[in-house]
Amino acid sequence: MPQYIQYGSHILDSPREECGLIGIYTRDTESLGRRCFFGLFTLQHRGQESAGIAVTDGQTIYHHKGMGLVTQVFTEDNVAELTGTIGIGHVRYSTTGSTTLRNAQPILGNFRGMPFALAHNGNLINAAPLRREIEQGGIVLSSTSDSELIVKLIEISEHTDFTEALLAALQRIQGAYALVIMTPDRLIGLRDPWGIRPLVIGRAEGDDYVLASETCALGLLGTRFVREVEPGEMVTIHDGELRAERAERYVTDALCVFEFIYFARPDSRMYGRVLYESRRSMGHMLAQEHPVNADLVIGIPDTGIPGAIGYAEAARIPFAHGLVKNRYIQRTFIQPDQRMREMGVRMKLAPLPDVLQGKRVVVVDDSIVRGTTTGPQVQLLRDAGAAEVHLRICAPPIKYPCFYGIDMANQKELIASRMTVPELERHLGPDSLGYQSIPSLVRALGIPRNRFCLACFDGRYPCPIPEDIKVTKFALEEAVSGAE
């Protein structure tokens, strides 16, 4: 199979998504595969590297997964074959483990003769030592993702009951995780004790239940939002009934703040807030904190648009669409050469010179991570005729690496960790640069600061990071190559 190349990694400077999860329990066996497909389709923004669905008819687990977008992996024929009463699905952006088919999910396991499947969103900070321990026990691992480690911990457990084996496995893992797990007769959902990664519960008429990373998946599937799975909680759907229990001791609420800033779809709800309104409020706060005389406000599509609208409203400056996004550039089989990489921003974004010509422009974006595309974006606007370009960023400066499932684990790559704002202005080329402060961001969210993980801004990690473990995206590949 040809290797996919994701141009987004060269073109966008926002943090890369984590993964998206769906779990469905239904009596309508014929529609299960189709419903899993549409659930994943609504969560496509959370991962575009691979997609997979596993279903069970009560005895056997059937699955299909592949590299690429949901619509590339699944066809009418292979979806029609996915019938049953329980199904789970996964879209992936890799945070531990490279972009290969062997790391696609769901992952199948076998516990004392009983098949099960697991899908994971998050990142285990003790993946490397766990892998060494498991391999030293003679277990052969087929992937380099941390998710398979959870499956193996369940399989090799001394417990004879699946739930007890699962709970014991949770005691061995450290880090961020939301899990959906399927056995022949039950659907299970779990969140880590800090609730870093999201998971919600939906219910339809009758006994149908849905577990999903975001509420945006519920409406399309004809289910109503019930509630979020609590940090450290395990929910089990069996025989049409949902049972909730404490899987691990509750520590705190520490939802990743980037769900509000960037990751989640704007029509999703988290902590009772519609994310579009939260992003619009970020723009309001940003305008108060960093005002500027300008003629119009534009947003970097798509996630910068709500903040730009909010900025324009608060500053009483007209909002306009100054950039058009090419929506069909996410993936290609064509290997990019250096010239194509240099064309990256122009391949992704097209300016509207008639809108920008001679204007003093405020440009609102969600974040700056590595700074690799921000400078070219500024130049793109200048080339289109903008007289002034003033950058306004909804997120505070990203100075610290994330170890919980966002692809920014190397601090050296984070441009704000090594440059001051004046230095960034000179390096990136805008007439001015304004980041939202942490207090301003918290006011925009309207939710207490202690309910979020803000570690990438302030270095305060809710789940302690072992000093002797350096976590990178390819930590398990490094562990494997070092052992060979």
So what's the pLDDT on residue 94?
58
Angle between helices 374-383 and 421-428 (to 10 degrees): 50
Instruction: Report the C-alpha gap between 398 and 402 in whole angstroms.
Output: 10
Report CA 459 to chain centroid distance, whole Å: 20
Query: Which residues of the chain, if any, have pLDDT below 70?
Result: 1-18, 94-99, 329-343, 409, 468-484
**What pLDDT is attached to residue 405?**
83
Nearest CA to 398 out of 280, 257, 289 is that of: 257
What's the chain's length in residues?
A: 484
Q: Comparing C-alpha atoms, which of 220, 93, 227, 118 is closest to residue 173?
A: 118
Q: Among 443, 373, 21, which Cα is nearest to 217's?
A: 21
409 neighbors 401 (Cβ within 8 angstroms)? yes
- In this structure, what is the dihedral angle of CA atoms 201, 203, 207, 209, given to the nearest 10 degrees? -40
Active site amino acids: 19
Residue 372 has a pLDDT of 87
Q: Of 237, 222, 235, 226, which is closest to residue 31 (Cα–Cα)? A: 222
pLDDT in the model for residue 472: 47
Angle at the Cα of 306 (from 302 to 309), degrees rounded to 5? 120
In the chain the domains, ranked by start, together with CATH numbers, are 5-254 (3.60.20.10), 275-447 (3.40.50.2020)
* Eight-state DSSP code of residue 301: T
Residues 73/67, Cβ–Cβ less than 8 Å: yes
Query: For 409, phi and psi rounded to 5 degrees?
Result: -90, -5
In which residue are the tokens 């440009």 written? 363
- Residue 207 pLDDT: 84
User: Across-strand partners of 362?
Assistant: 297, 390
For residue 344, give both structure tokens: 């990256």
Q: Are strands 86-92 and 50-56 parallel, antiparallel or unpaired?
A: antiparallel
CA distance 393 to 391: 7
- d(CA 163, CA 153) in angstroms, rounded, equals 12
- Count of other CB atoms within 10 angstroms of residue 168: 14
Chain centre to alpha carbon of residue 360: 34
- Please name which of 213, 253, 214 lies closest in space to residue 230, comparing C-alpha atoms: 253
